[in-house]
Each structure stands twice: as C-alpha cells, then as structure tokens.
Amino acid sequence: MDFERALVLDAAGVDLGRVYRTEELAPGRHIVFSATGITDGDFLRGVKFVKDGARTHGISMGHRSRVIRFSDAVHLWGDDARVTIQV
C-alpha cells in the first residue's frame, strides 16, 4: 500500500493491523452476498463473449435462507440475437 493511501486510512481511523470479525463487518441476520466472475478463477468462471452476447457465472448466498445459488447466465444483446445452448 502506498504511503498517501495509508495516511488517508489512518486519518479516517482505520487500524491497518486489525483483523475484523464477521459480526463487525456485516452485523445482522438479513445478509446477502453476490458475486459474478470477471476473469477465470478458482471459484467462478470469467465472462465469455459469444456471438451477440456474453456468458457469466455467479454465486449468491443468503444468511437467513441458508441457501447458496450458483448461476450460469447467457446475456443476449440486440432484439435479433439468438444462441444455441447445449447441456
């Protein structure tokens, strides 16, 4: 981290050496987490561009519902866009 950024965080009262607990970062029971892969990683695939669209992979987690959902989506661009999907 550069020196100027560290000064700004210090002035805001951020302790750079502190490890925050889950309850401090996200208090409550109505917590939802969502992410979509941008580049390929260990957890999610990145965006793949196809003719007239893109394919994305994502995840959503709900604390209260105790459900984890993985999504595989095809986004079509344009009114005439068509995609052949093979399972």
pTM score of the predicted model: 0.63
Residue 1 has pLDDT above 70, yes or no: no
More confident residue, 18 or 69: 69
The band of 3, judged by pLDDT with boundaries at 50, 70 and 90, is: confident
Mean pLDDT, to the nearest integer, of 47-61? 93
User: What's the fold here for domain 3-76?
Assistant: Fructose-1,6-Bisphosphatase; Chain A, domain 1 (3.30.540)
Of 86, 72, 73, 77, the closest CA to residue 51 belongs to 77
The band of 20, judged by pLDDT with boundaries at 50, 70 and 90, is: confident
How far apart are the C-alpha atoms of 47 and 49, rounded to whole Å?
6
The band of 17, judged by pLDDT with boundaries at 50, 70 and 90, is: confident
